Amino acid sequence: MKRVGFFQSIQLKFVLIYVLLILFAMQIIGVYFVKELEEKLLTNFKTSLQQRVNLLEYNLREEMLKERTEETQTLEQDIRRILDDFTAPDVSEVRVIDHHSRITGTSDPNRQGIIGQRITDIAVKRTLSFGAEEDKMYIDQQSNKRIWVYTSPIISNREVIGAVYLIGKVETVYGQMDQINEILFSATALALVMTAVLGVLLARTITRPISDMRRQAVALGKGNFSRKVKVYGQDEIGELAITFNNLTKRLQEAQATTEGERRKLSSVLSYMTDGVIATDRKGRVILINEPAAKLLNVSRETVISQSITNLLGLEEEYTFDDLLNEQDSVILDYSNGDQPYILRANFSVIQKETGFVNGLITVLHDITEQEKIEMDRREFVANVSHELRTPLTTMRSYLEALAEGAWQDADIAPHFLDVTQTETERMIRLVNDLLQLSKFDSRDYQLTKKDVDFTEFFDKIIDRFEMTKSQEVAFKRKLPRYPIYVEIDADKLTQVLDNIISNALKYSPQGGQITFKVEEKSDKIEVSVRDQGMGIPKKNLERIFERFYRVDRARTRKLGGTGLGLAIAKEMITAHGGHIWATSAEGKGTTIFFTLPYELSEEDDWS
C-alpha cells in the first residue's frame, strides 16, 4: 500500500484546521478590537479638545465682554495673549471669530495676516447663526493628513457673540492605531506559530493511534492477524483501539472458520463426481469445479464471468430468469454423430431469508450411459418383439390354412408343417439365446474349465462343419502341428466357434473359401476365422457384437439368424479372460479374431 506523505496526512489537515480556526478567531477579535479602540481613541481625542475649548470659550467670553479704554490693550491683543497660552501637540490651529464672521485671532504665528478677514466656512456660519457645535473630519490637501475641525459658539446671555474654530491633529490617533495594529499583528503571528507547534503535538496524540490502526487495517487486508494496536489512553480513541483489537481477534476467528469451511467445500467440490457451477445474481459464473469443466470440455479460467446460459448452450431456449423458475431437470444433448453425449442439469436458487436472489447453483450429471442403456432396452424390447412376431405371424398363417382344410392336401400339408416346425425351432433358438444372455448379464453362470488341446479341439469342430456344409465353400486350415493346451470350458467355446463359423458359411459365396488360423502369442493364443463374403462397412464394424444388431437385416432374417450369436460369443470370450474383435473390407470378406489366455508349459519349452 502506498505510504501517505506528510502533506497528505490527516495530521497536517488537523494542524491547518486548528491554525485556521485560531487565525479566524484572531481576525474577528482584532477587527472588533481595532474598531472599538479607534472609536474610543477618537472619542477621547474629541472630548479632551472639547473640554479645553470650553475653558478657552470662558476666557474669550470675558475678554470680549470687557469694556475697552485707550490705556487698555485691544481685543485682538488680549485674544492673542489667550491663544498663546492655548498650545497643545494635538492642536494645529485655533481661530477666534466674532459675530460678524471676522477672524479676531489665531494661534498660528505664521498666519497672523488673516486677522480681520471674513471667514466663509459654512460650519462657522451655521454655528454663528444657530449656536450649534459643528465638527467634521477630512484629509488636508497640503499635508495629506487627516484633521479634525471643530467649531464651538461663544454665547453670552443666550446670544452668540463669536465662535472658536479649532483644527485638531487627529493623525496622531491613527498613528497610535497603526502601532497597535503592528503589535496585534505580531501577537497574532506569534500566537499562530505557537498554535501550529501545539497543534502538531496535539495532532500527534490523535493521529498516532489512528496511524497505528491504519497500519493494522493494511495488515488485516494482507491476512496478518498477529499485530495489535497500542492503546495510548482511556479516552474515546483508546476505546476505539481496544475495540479494533477485539475486532481483529473476531476477524481472525471468523477467517479461520471461513477458511475451514472453504477447504471443506473445496474438498467436497473437488471429490464430487457431479459437476457444480455457481453464478451470481446476474447469471455470471463465479465458481465451477473440475468435473463440471471436464463435462463441458472447457477451461475453468476462461468461463469465469461468462453467462450460464451461454456456457450450457441454452441462450436460444432459456433466459437466466427462466432457469431461476425451472423446477424440472434440463437435458443437455451434446451428441456428435454416432457418439452420444447427454447431460442432465438440475438448478437450485440461492436465496436469502428475505427472498433476495443471490445466484444459481447448477448440478450436472452425465447420463449418457443411462440414456444409452435406456435406448438399448427399448431397442432390445422392440427387437425381441419383432423377432418373435415374425415367426408367430408365419405360424399363425400356416396353422389357419391347415385348420381351414389344407391338412387334407397331401402336397401342401407337409410343406406347411415343415415351415411351422422351422419357425418353432427358430423361436426356441431365440429364447435359448436370450436366456443365455440373461445369465451372462446376471452373472448367473459358471465355467467348467479344463485343459484342452486347442489344436485338436478346433480341428474337430472344423471337420464337423466340413462334413455337413451344403454350399461349395473350401476350408483352409492354418493350425499348429503340435498340441496347444489351454484351460477352457469346451461347451462354451464350441458354441462360440459354432456361431462364428455358421456366420462365415452364411455369408460366403459359392466357390469361396474360409480360412481357420491359430497363432501363439507371448501370453495368449489368437484364433481367427476369415471368409470371403460381402464384408462389413467400416461404420458398422464396431457394432456387430451388439445384441440384435444386423448389418443387413433382411438377409440375416432370411438366413435364419437371431442377431445374438456374436453378442453371445463376446460374453463367453470375455468370461474366459479373452478379447474378440473383427476386421473387414467391403467386397473382400470379414475376419473374426478372438484371444484366449495361454501359459506356455515347461514341456512345451522342452519339446
Q: What is the CATH number of the domain that holds 291?
A: 3.30.450.20
Q: Is residue 382 included in any domain, yes or no?
A: yes
Which residues, including other chains, have CB under 8 Å from residue 122's CB and lie 6 or more apart? Answer: none
Average pLDDT value over all residues in the chain: 81
pTM as predicted: 0.42
As given in the structure block, the three cell numbers for residue 148 are: 479634525
- Residue 209 domain-assigned? no
The mean pLDDT value for 425-452 works out to: 71
Claim to verify: residue 232 and residue 309 sit in the same structural domain: no
Q: Which residue has the higher pLDDT, 256 or 514?
A: 514
Residues 382 and 494 both lie in one domain: no
Predicted confidence (pLDDT) at residue 50 exceeds the cutoff of 80:
yes
* Domain boundary residue, one of 149, 176, 203: 176
* Percentage of residues of the chain with pLDDT beyond 70: 88
Same domain, 470 and 555: yes
Q: Are 351 and 381 part of one and the same domain? A: no
Let me know whether 90 and 141 are in one domain. yes
526 — pLDDT class (breaks 50, 70, 90): very high
The pLDDT of residue 172 is 83
Condensed to tens digits (0 to 9), the pLDDT of residues 579-601 reads 999 998 888 889 999 999 987 65
Q: What Rg value do the Cα atoms of the chain yield, rounded?
A: 64
Residues 413 and 328 in one domain: no
Dump pLDDT digits (tens) for 306-321.
998 888 888 888 888 8
Bridge-partner residues for 66, per DSSP? Answer: none
Same domain, 426 and 575: no
Q: pLDDT band at 11, cuts 50/70/90? A: low
Instruction: Note whether residue 379 is domain-resident.
Output: yes
Q: Of 314, 341, 366, which one is at a domain's C-terminal end?
A: 366
Contacts of 175 (CB under 8 A, 6+ apart): none
What per-residue confidence (pLDDT) applies to 7? Answer: 53
One domain for residues 395 and 323: no
pLDDT higher than threshold 70 for residue 553:
no
Instruction: Indicate if 360 and 376 belong to the same structural domain.
Output: no
Establish if 239 belongs to a structural domain.
yes
What CATH number is given to the structural domain containing 395? Answer: 1.10.287.130
pLDDT tens-place string over residues 75-114: 788 888 888 877 778 888 888 988 888 988 888 888 888 8
Tell how far CA 357 is from the center of its chain.
16
Number of structural domains the chain divides into: 5
Please give the single-letter amino acid code of residue 406: A
Q: What is the pLDDT of residue 552?
A: 59
Within a domain: 2: no
> Could you tell me the CATH number of the domain that includes residue 593?
3.30.565.10
User: Which grid coordinates are listed for 348?
Assistant: 437450485
Let me know whether 428 and 470 are in one domain.
no
Residue 102 included in any domain: yes
Task: Look at residue 328 and give its three-state secondary structure.
Answer: coil
Let me know whether 348 and 471 are in one domain: no
pLDDT band at 16 (very low <50, low <70, confident <90, very high): confident
Q: Is 318 helix (H, G, I), strand (E, B) or coil?
A: coil
The residue among 366, 393, 423 that closes a domain is 366
Q: Are residues 128 and 237 in the same domain?
A: no
Instruction: Tell me whether residue 188 is in a domain.
Output: no
Q: How confident is the model at residue 555 (pLDDT cuts 50, 70, 90)?
A: very low
Q: Which domain holds residue 252?
A: 227-263
Is the model's pLDDT at 1 over the cut of 70? no
Tens digits of per-residue pLDDT, 478-507? 999 899 999 998 888 888 898 899 888 888
Residue 389: pLDDT band with limits 50, 70, 90 = confident
294 inside domain: yes
Find out whether 64 and 96 touch, Cβ atoms under 8 Å.
no
Distances (CA, A) of 220 to 213, 384, 552: 10, 72, 75
